[in-house]
Chains A and B, each alone.
Chain A
Amino acid sequence: MANAKELRKQIGSIKNTQKITSAMEMVAASKMRKAQERMARGRPYSEQIRSVISHVANASPEYHHEFMVEREVNRIGYIVVTTDKGLCGGLNINLLKATVMDIKKWVDQDIEVDLCLIGHKGVQFFRSYGGNVVAASSHVSETPAISDLIGSIKVMLDAFEEGNVDKIFLANNVFVNTMTQMPTINQLVPLDPVDEASLKHRWDYIYEPDARQLIEGLITRFLESQVYQAVVENVACEQAAKMIAMKSATDNAGDLIDELELIMNNARQAAITQELSEIAGGAAAV
């Protein structure tokens, strides 16, 4: 039979942990609301610009930007967006697993892979897993500014322009709802034309004033908005996953406390019964 005093101490410490996890759950819940709003506001722009860009990629423009030209693949780049902090369930692991599987596919074809990491967890992971990290930025705030991100992305884009990297993918978590976050990997450059029957025939835009200037500007905007949206979405995912993880931790702590209390009460009851029977036995003997 377990010692009642020991059990009481154990219950006390679990209660303290429960307090912490439930506080973290509430913090994550309130942060999630804000992060979700920010994500929802940015979504229309990034979706619209994505569709415009894919129209442009489908057109037969008079000017071909180098980001639009498919070329033979010798080396590819990944931009991986992870969180800075842990305690958010399987969020990072799921994304990294999907990324590693994707990378393996290329490595099997003897294609080398460069990595650009945003978020501390990704940096930690690839430090132990190995991989050619060309740029990393961690401790991006919860309200990221495009200027904070563009530095590390630029390394990748410059490598593409110089011909060192022939394809760039963006890997991040997509927020489906509070319970579900989906790891997704999208091709960033060269631009991916959509399969739309209505756009199949040969056509081109009228450009005002100048195709080159317009397309360059549009592509810069597109890349910025995609990466920005990926980061903002990742923040929302992080808070949602953290909230769920902390909620289940709080629940588990509650279950554990209930169980221990039951054992403790049993032990106390047994001790009382024993004492009583000893007293009764003693009285009978006298």
Chain B
Amino acid sequence: MASTVLCSIVSAEEEIFSGQVEMVVATGTIGELGILPGHTPLLSGVKPGPVRLILEGGEEEIFFASGGYIEVQPTSITILADTALRADDLDEAAALESQKKAEQELIDQKSDVDFARVSSDLQEQAAMLRTIRKFRERKG
């Protein structure tokens, strides 16, 4: 069996990554997915969270996807992200800031606050922070 598989991550704005990988770890709608070459066809939603790629030779790269879809074919993996970022580009301070803001909005409970929107904001920020931590851990 082939030891690598072609993986591409695209967001609506740009192509983030395209190349051969040994394994993809993504956050699916119902849990974490680890995908190796030769996987059976799979179609799943992606929740906001880190996407980890193990490149040829064992090197690792981490991305952040804010939701979207993942399609797996035995010879290719495609992640269609709503927005995606390289983990290095994530801004921890900004993420913390907007998390706080979202929490504050929830506490204030102003009548015009859209609860669903704020809580999904909150989830996204939390996922972003998770990605940053993971990235740090690995680096440190």
**0/1 string, B72-85, CB within 8 A of A gives 1:** 01000010100000
The reply on A129 being an interface residue by CB < 8 A is: no
Least Cβ distance of A150 to chain B in Å?
14
* Alpha-carbon gap, A206 to B8, bound state (A): 20
* Alpha-carbon gap, A208 to B80, bound state (A): 15
B8, B15, B41, B45: the one contacting A214 at CB < 8 Å is B45
Is the beta-carbon distance between A206 and B12 smaller than 8 angstroms? no
Is the beta-carbon distance between B80 and A45 smaller than 8 angstroms? yes
Contacting residues, chain B, for A206 (C-beta < 8 A): 40-43
B41, B45, B78: the one contacting A59 at CB < 8 Å is B41
Is the beta-carbon distance between B43 and A214 smaller than 8 angstroms? yes
The binding surface of chain B is classed by DSSP as strand
Contacting residues, chain B, for A48 (C-beta < 8 A): 8, 10, 78, 80
Is the beta-carbon distance between B12 and A209 smaller than 8 angstroms? no
Q: How many residues of B contact A (CB 8 A)?
A: 22
Besides A206-B41, A207-B42, 20 other A-B contacts (C-beta < 8 A): A42-B13, A44-B8, A44-B10, A44-B15, A44-B18, A48-B10, A48-B78, A48-B80, A49-B80, A52-B69, A56-B43, A209-B29, A209-B44, A211-B43, A214-B43, A215-B43, A218-B43, A221-B69, A221-B80, A225-B12
Ordered by A's residue number, 22 sampled pairs between the chains whose C-beta atoms are within 8 Å are A41-B13, A41-B14, A42-B13, A44-B8, A44-B14, A48-B10, A48-B78, A48-B80, A52-B80, A55-B71, A55-B73, A203-B41, A205-B43, A206-B40, A206-B42, A206-B43, A208-B28, A208-B45, A209-B30, A209-B44, A214-B45, A217-B45
Contacting residues, chain B, for A45 (C-beta < 8 A): 10-13, 15, 80
The reply on A204 being an interface residue by CB < 8 A is: yes
* Alpha-carbon gap, A56 to B44, bound state (A): 12
Q: How many residues of A contact B (CB 8 A)?
A: 26
Contact (A208, B43) CB under 8 Å given A217-B69, A218-B69: yes
